[in-house]
Amino acid sequence: MQLTKLAYFLPLIATVLAAAVPDVDSAVSMASVSGLDSNIFDKRACSNNGCKCRRGAKAGVYCGRCGAVTSLGSGKLNDAYQCASNGDCCGYGARSSCAGRSYSPCG
């Protein structure tokens, strides 16, 4: 007769277990409502720091030491820059691979 008692408690146990597991969508929406960044791996913003790139250079990301970057603006040699083929440029800031001997990437 102990099994009849289990039938009464089974819905209660299922409810408690369901409440203990957070819903992924509600966790993300709660993060956005509370002002928290739900994606900690966002890309860095490319800021206009007055840098210039060589016109006609292949569009891409370059270190400050690469030939495509003609003016660093307020940036540094160890910074990464996004160049457009028309010479427009923006800076991502310091990048460890730009500080190495190979200063990669160069395009």
pTM for the model stands at: 0.58
What are the DSSP E strand ranges found in the chain? 52-53, 60-63, 69-71, 79-83, 89-94
Report how far residue 16's alpha carbon sits from residue 53's, in angstroms, rounded to the nearest whole number: 61
CA distance 61 to 95: 11
Residue 106 bridge partners (DSSP): 62
Does 58 fall in a domain? yes
**Predicted pLDDT of residue 54:** 96
Provide the residue range defining the domain that includes 77: 52-99
Q: Is 15 part of a structural domain of the chain?
A: no
State the 10-residue block means of pLDDT for the chain, 107 residues long.
62 58 43 43 79 95 94 95 95 90 78
- Spatial neighbors of 36 by CB under 8 A, at least 6 apart, are none
| pLDDT value at residue 16 | 53
User: Does residue 70 fall inside a structural domain?
Assistant: yes
- Would you say 105 and 97 are in contact if contact means Cβ atoms under 8 Å apart? yes
